[in-house]
């Protein structure tokens, strides 16, 4: 599965667990770190952990291998590294503080209708 397809699959898994402010940033032309960031927000530790569990389950079904996960215990900022995509699941305060969208302002976000065509 292509990195863009995995990023969209991760975004949809976040949405299944009622994540908010879901954004997919394309970094492949800007960084050798990864191809895509998927960023989303949960309202509590329970929700961010549920989002991470759902993402892990869905991406595993697609054959993706989770290289590393950080922050799962605290659930305030969970980082999931799949190599070609990196997923950031924040609670609201952390998302506002770290503001990845500002740090990676040169990275274009995939249009919402491309990520969630069923809502368009």
Continuous segment of H or E residues that includes residue 14:
helix 3-16
- Count Cβ neighbours within 10 Å for each residue of 39-74 and write b for 16 or more, e otherwise: bbbbeeeebbbbbbebbbebbeeeebeeeeeebbee
pLDDT of residue 117: 86
pLDDT at 120 over 70: no
User: Rounded distance, CA 108 to CA 24, Å?
Assistant: 8
Q: What does the pLDDT average to over 89-96?
A: 96
Q: The CATH number of the domain where 87 resides is what?
A: 3.30.460.10
Structure tokens at 86: 């990196």
Assigned domain for 115 exists:
no
Residue 39 · residue 13 · CB < 8 Å: no
Q: How many structural domains comprise the chain?
A: 1
In a domain, 117, yes or no: no
Q: Which domain holds residue 103?
A: 3-110
Radius of gyration of the chain, Cα coordinates, nearest whole angstrom: 13
* pLDDT at site 45: 96
The mean per-residue pLDDT over the stretch 58-76 comes to 96
Residue 29 has pLDDT above 80, yes or no: yes
Q: So what's the pLDDT on residue 21?
A: 96
- With 0.85 as the threshold, say if the pTM is over it: yes
- Amino acid 93: pLDDT: 95
């Amino acid at each position: 599965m292509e990195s863009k397809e995995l990023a969209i699959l991760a975004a949809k898994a976040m949405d299944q667990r009622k994540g908010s402010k879901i954004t997919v940033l394309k970094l492949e032309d800007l960084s050798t770190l990864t191809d895509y960031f998927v960023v989303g927000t949960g309202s509590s530790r329970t929700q961010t952990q549920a989002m991470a569990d759902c993402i892990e389950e869905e991406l595993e079904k697609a054959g993706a291998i989770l290289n590393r996960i950080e922050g799962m215990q605290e659930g305030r900022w969970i980082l999931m590294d799949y190599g070609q995509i990196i997923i950031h699941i924040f609670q609201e305060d952390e998302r506002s503080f770290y503001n990845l969208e500002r740090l990676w302002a040169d990275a274009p976000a995939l249009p919402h209708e491309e990520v969630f065509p069923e809502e368009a």
